[in-house]
Structure 1
Amino acid sequence: MEKLRAVYRYLKEKYSLLTLRKYTTLAGTLVFFLIMSIVPLAFWMTLLIGKLPVNPERILALPVFESVKGVLEYVRTEAKSATTGVSVLLMVTSLYSATNLFYQMRKSGEIIYDFHKKRQGFRVRLGALVLMSIVMGMVVGFLLVYAFGNFLFSRIFSRTWELIADYLLLTGVAFLLVLLLNMYVCPYKARTKHFLPGTALTVGLWGVAVAGFSVYLKISNVGRLYGALSALIVFLLWLYILMICFIIGVIFNSERVKNEGGIFKETGKISNKNARKGNTVYK
């Protein structure tokens, strides 16, 4: 019984921390900027992978994307049509719009980590551009590996084992992506190991959330409730749930960075003295 009380107190403490950091508000804000950035991001991804031997439809055909496949297909089609006769002005404006999500992620990270040092917006925007380039490179690399793996797995494994291999690859890429985002949103210099637990928590919650969301859609009648808007509502709800999982992981990591001496000096060495005193060293 005492163990159950300890677990209850622990969960209550963590939930109080989440509410203190306004995790649902931050998640909703990031979903808004994701919606605003998703077509520009898809536009640039289409420019990058347009001539590569990859077929994104194979990935969208995975059961994990079944509930939002229609919206994702629409975004991909619109982005592909926008690349026809593209102008320099469109490329510049879409590039700026595409960085908004990562820019706001960093700002949200500063709120979560209680970071008050003033920074130049241009530097943060430039960092968002660099991160966007890295993320797009990771996606292109994943598509190439997936195309090769799909070609190989389909000839070696049965359909069940092929799906398992696909999900393992997708989970690995998701882990690397979330780890990169966690390191980016943190305004302090910290060791990579301090971001691993929160990253694993986010990816694990994503798996549970996607599975639970699929079950919810099967037992509920969303189409009757929302009618023609059901596909869009489902997509927004799907994004909101995934973003909440991401914010939870970031908040979890923020406590580790603050409480476990994960603050770096400019030399790159951990300063336990600074960590004990509560001093912080900025990036």
Structure 2
Amino acid sequence: MFSGYIDGLIVILAINVIMAYSAALPLVAGQLNLGTAGFMAVGAYMAAFLSNEYGLPIGVAILVGSLASGLIALIIGIPVLRTSGIYLALATFALGQILVAVFLNLEIVGAAQGYPVYGYIEMPTIALTTIGLLILLFVLSQTRFWLYLTAIKNDPTVCDLFGIEVRNVQLAAFVLGGMLAAVAGGLQAHYLSYVEAQSFGALISIYTVLFVILGGTQTVLGPLVGAAFFTFLPEVFRSGEEWRYAIFAAFIIGFMVLRPQGMINANMMRRLKAPFGGKASA
């Protein structure tokens, strides 16, 4: 039996991993999505409301919340994804803040006072759910869809010339990212037994992107490694008390200067596969 501290740390890791992949899917396609916190809020509030008011099983409530978040991402993504670069980042950032502001003023879910959640899920359920999602994502990484994402990031014009529906593929990545963020929100709400709009601030979206950038976008393992790094390293520096976050930030800056491609890149993965029959790069 794990201690409460270990249980909490595993839950934080699981939520961070899911959020990392919610940002990674659009980022692999060259889209900087800074609205993941908003989709996380949609999933948290929707799942909590359905399980509280209608007695839906928690798993079903989280699934419905994820589908609702995906629908919002689809509707809003069609006009938003017409932009690119810094304009896309600002548009998604504003979208995330609007979604959070809606729940902050929505009386039916407690508005600024927050919303208690009666259903509860334990750490093993969250951990198993995260592992299941990881398996699905690793399977997805072996499909043509993931290849399209990476190709679009490298050169969308050439992809368009080869008949790839660039905007549709990017929209699909955006929607899947929104659905994953909602799952993370629903899991967190039913673990903490409370939802508060203020907890879905802009920093969550920024940290989520940092998970991916630090881990690397060249391989499917990158976001997982980046999320684990961000989760555990502050705990390593815990003895530094109030200085630990400053030390952590300095470490990240130094690391990104020395290794801007992230912790895991394609060449590293090819070298790791070589002893097992894979082909190492030249």
TM superposition score category, shorter chain reference? under 0.3
TM-score of the pair, normalised by structure 1: 0.26
Structure of greater relative contact order (alpha carbons < 8 Å, 6+ residues apart): 2
TM-score of the pair, normalised by structure 2: 0.26
